[in-house]
A = this chain, B = another copy of it.
């Protein structure tokens, strides 16, 4: 490619989506900033971006089901994943102290992750905003005294804000799993060892076990399983499943078996499994 890769993200530069994109691609990427996840997907579908980075799962909140729906309802596929440790900082204009702060702005999820810090500081009023980094940018742009943002260390650096408190998230083991999304259909390669799929089964005892038993027979590991009720069809259930394997041939055979047994089978992507962030660097 002659042009730098363009990555659609929800949020702005120095948001956690941006951090995930920089970490995953190990290179300078051009970023398409979007307000909503739907706009992120549209960016790729309309070829304004080559790929998108999409949060799909968080330690605290679990799966982000609306993003699964976006994937399932568009010709978009998962081509990679990355886990990012989320460490929230409280930041304000240089010179401000914690005692000066009256209002804290951030993305609802970030406020939620820091609920214990906020409860311990009742003088701080939480205000929801559409982005972590965007909240930091606004404080600098509008020179807002008395207002702090909850965002990444990168956001403090980018918008020249002073960090008043670090690692204010309730749980230090706090990470988000991001998917790399594009229009390229899934392809099994030697380097790929993980897949995401969805399927439906009849709502009767044993229907799910029969499908999962195919994975067991081929030595395939489950890393995620989640039932999703199908509104208006109470006798059927849909499942999201992530699997990992050592032998590509085992994956191929298992998938053939599952396709025969389960209705509405969809392969959402084949990719290389990301590593969980163990340390906090």
Kindly state the interface size class of chain A when it binds its partner.
35 or more
CB pair A66 B226 closer than 8 Å: no
In the assembled complex, A97 has its CB within 8 A of some CB on chain B? no
Interface window among A74-82, A154-162, A207-215: A207-215
Q: Count chain B CB atoms within 10 A of each CB in A61, A204, A206 and give the residue with the most.
A: A206
A95 on interface, CB distance cutoff 8 Å: no
A173 interface residue (CB < 8 Å to B): yes
Which B residues are in CB contact (< 8 Å) with A38?
Answer: 115
User: Is there a chain B Cβ closer than 8 Å to A203's Cβ?
Assistant: yes
Q: Contact string, A220-253, partner B, CB cutoff 8 A, digits 1/0? A: 1111111111011010010100000000000000
Counting CB contacts under 8 A, is A263 at the interface?
no
Please tell me if A99 contacts chain B, counting CB pairs below 8 Å. Answer: no
A60 vs B278: C-alpha distance when bound (angstroms): 31
Contact A204 B227 (CB under 8 A): no
Q: Is the CB of A171 within 8 A of B231?
A: yes
Cα–Cα, bound, A175→B206 (Å): 27
Choice from B61, B115, B205, B227 contacting A224 with Cβ under 8 Å: B227
Nearest Cβ on chain B to A279's Cβ, whole angstroms: 11
Q: List chain B residues, Cβ under 8 A from A227.
A: 222-226
A74 to chain B minimum Cβ distance, whole angstroms, is 15
CB of A63 within 8 A of chain B?
yes
B216 touching A276 by the CB < 8 A rule? Answer: no
Q: Return the chain B residue nearest A171 by Cβ.
A: B231
Complex interface: chain B residues within 8 A of A173 (CB) = 231-232
Closest CB in chain B relative to A65 CB, distance in Å: 4
Measuring CB to CB, which residues of chain A are less than 8 angstroms from any residue of chain B? 36, 38, 59-63, 65-66, 108, 112, 115, 128, 171, 173-175, 203-206, 208-209, 212-213, 215-216, 219-229, 231-232, 234, 237, 239, 276, 278
Q: Known pairs A171-B231, A208-B225, A223-B237. 12 more at Cβ < 8 A?
A: A63-B63, A108-B128, A173-B231, A173-B232, A203-B223, A205-B216, A205-B220, A205-B221, A209-B209, A209-B213, A209-B215, A223-B227
